[in-house]
């Protein structure tokens, strides 16, 4: 009798569920390990290839960072861009009726910068920043609204890159079209610009298509969540000026970034044949590539993107330029690490809603 009860206990539904859960957990862990190993291999392979071919020279980069004028100028510009990013995010929060103090937004942004160099992809820090801001909201639509601000903040950032590159292409269209290696890129960035324009038109203009999309979303699995997210995005239809203002800030941020990279290029040397207008066209495309979640801070992917894109018009040491640029991102991320350490010791501040 006792043996039967033991067998029954071992094959009870609860024990079976526990077994399935453990099995799924092991599979999930294995997938994460394999994915991480693959990403590390890709990143390491790209960096090793560039180094072996003489396309990556850390000695030259170190010499640039030792120049006080260049170092502090680029660092101040990078810091100013961080404050502009905070201002952009606050605009999006205010539009959703979520009022967060500037310093609180700054702390979360710095925490996000820290994780940008700890997790794959240039947008990974947004996930961590999103965790804190969404967790601080009451359950329900407020969490959807908070998540929407992060989504739109990232879209505005990418849209700013597209706008800067597309504008530079238009201002130098004859030169771009006369260069065979740049023609495919001109078509690529034009397609991105059209997609960006259609997105903003859809968000900012009330059309019958919006109602059709909402009905379709409600019929999908988890449709109520998608519908809430859609409603939160369409909230910006009532405050178009704020969203366009956020886009303007993004454009300013990326103009400053390109200027900083140009300063580093002049200090590094080897970019004399590269015109500033060409850099304004090509660098934003390279920064777009770093958003691909393969390695922290776009390591590897960013190096090869800069090497390839700038190599189309002459310079073959674009990887060195990206290394110099990443160095300043790492400095900001270390400062963000200090914010993260202090932030964990405090309770998450609950924003005021209206």
- Rounded to whole angstroms, the Cα distance separating 314 from 311 reads 5
Give the β-pairing of 98-99 and 352-353: antiparallel
More confident residue, 136 or 165: 165
Q: What is the pLDDT of residues 252-270, one digit of tens each?
A: 999 999 999 999 999 888 8
What value does the mean pLDDT take over residues 2-6?
A: 51
pLDDT of residue 162: 95
Q: Are 158 and 288 in contact (CB under 8 A)?
A: yes
What value does the mean pLDDT take over residues 303-309?
A: 88
pLDDT band at 353; cut points 50, 70, 90: low
Q: What is the pLDDT of residues 210-251, one digit of tens each?
A: 777 777 777 777 666 777 777 778 888 888 889 999 999 999
pLDDT of residue 156: 92
User: Residue 324 pLDDT more than 60?
Assistant: yes
Rounded percentage of the chain residues whose pLDDT exceeds 70:
72
What value does the mean pLDDT take over residues 188-213?
A: 87
Please work out, in degrees rounded to the nearest 5, the angle formed at the alpha carbon of residue 158 by the alpha carbons of 174 and 213.
110
What value does the mean pLDDT take over residues 331-345?
A: 76
What value does the mean pLDDT take over residues 77-90?
A: 94
Q: Are 188 and 269 in contact (CB under 8 A)?
A: no
Rounded percentage of the chain residues whose pLDDT exceeds 90:
25
- Comparing CA positions, the residue from 314, 43, 282, 273 lying closest to residue 168 is 282
More confident residue, 352 or 185: 185
- Rounded to whole angstroms, the Cα distance separating 142 from 239 reads 18
Q: What is the pLDDT of residues 74-83, one digit of tens each?
A: 999 999 999 9
Question: Coil, helix or strand for 344?
Answer: coil
pLDDT of residue 219: 73
Question: Coil, helix or strand for 273?
Answer: coil
What value does the mean pLDDT take over residues 51-67?
A: 66
- Rounded to whole angstroms, the Cα distance separating 283 from 180 reads 18
Q: Token digits for 61?
A: 């980069």
pLDDT band at 346; cut points 50, 70, 90: very low
Residues 6+ apart with CB under 8 A from 234: 203, 210
User: Residue 63 pLDDT more than 90?
Assistant: no
- Rounded to whole angstroms, the Cα distance separating 120 from 293 reads 5
More confident residue, 130 or 273: 273
Write the burial class of residue 201 (CB in 10 Å: 0-12 exposed, 13-18 middle, 19+ buried). Answer: exposed
Per-domain boundaries in the chain: 46-353
User: Residue 69 pLDDT more than 80?
Assistant: yes
200 C-beta neighbours (distance < 10 Å), count = 18
Mean pLDDT of the chain: 78
Q: Token digits for 101?
A: 């103090």
Helix, strand, coil tally for the chain in percent (to 5): 80, 0, 20
Question: Coil, helix or strand for 11?
Answer: coil
Chain centre distance of CA 171: 27
């Amino acid at each position: 009798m006792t043996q039967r009860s033991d067998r029954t206990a071992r094959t009870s539904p609860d024990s079976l569920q526990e077994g399935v859960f453990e099995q799924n957990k092991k599979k999930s862990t294995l997938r994460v390990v394999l994915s991480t190993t693959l990403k590390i291999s890709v990143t390491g392979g790209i960096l090793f290839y560039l180094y072996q071919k003489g396309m990556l020279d850390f000695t030259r980069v170190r010499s640039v960072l030792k120049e006080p004028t260049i170092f502090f100028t680029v660092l101040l510009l990078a810091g100013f861009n961080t404050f502009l990013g905070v201002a952009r995010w606050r605009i999006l929060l205010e539009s959703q009726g979520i009022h967060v103090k500037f310093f609180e937004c700054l702390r979360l942004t710095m925490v996000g910068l820290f994780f940008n160099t700890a997790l794959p992809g240039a947008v990974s820090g947004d996930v961590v920043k999103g965790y804190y801001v969404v967790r601080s909201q009451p359950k329900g639509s407020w969490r959807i609204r908070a998540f929407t601000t992060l989504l739109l903040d990232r879209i505005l950032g990418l849209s700013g890159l597209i706008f800067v590159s597309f504008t530079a292409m238009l201002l130098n269209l004859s030169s771009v079209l006369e260069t065979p290696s740049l023609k495919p890129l001109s078509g690529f960035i034009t397609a991105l610009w059209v997609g960006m324009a259609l997105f903003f038109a859809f968000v900012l203009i009330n059309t019958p298509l919006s109602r059709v999309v909402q009905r379709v979303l409600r019929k999908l699995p988890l449709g109520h969540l998608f519908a809430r997210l859609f409603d939160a995005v369409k909230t910006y239809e009532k405050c178009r000026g704020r969203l366009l203002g956020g886009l303007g800030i993004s454009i300013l941020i990326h103009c400053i970034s390109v200027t900083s990279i140009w300063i580093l290029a002049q200090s590094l040397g080897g970019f004399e044949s590269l015109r500033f207008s060409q850099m304004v066209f090509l660098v934003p495309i390279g920064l777009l590539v770093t958003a691909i979640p393969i390695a922290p801070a776009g390591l590897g992917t960013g190096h090869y993107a800069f090497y390839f894109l700038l190599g189309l018009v002459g310079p073959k040491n674009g990887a060195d330029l990206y290394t110099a640029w990443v160095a300043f991102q790492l400095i900001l991320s270390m400062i963000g690490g200090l914010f993260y350490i202090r932030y964990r010791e405090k309770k998450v501040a609950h924003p005021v809603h209206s």
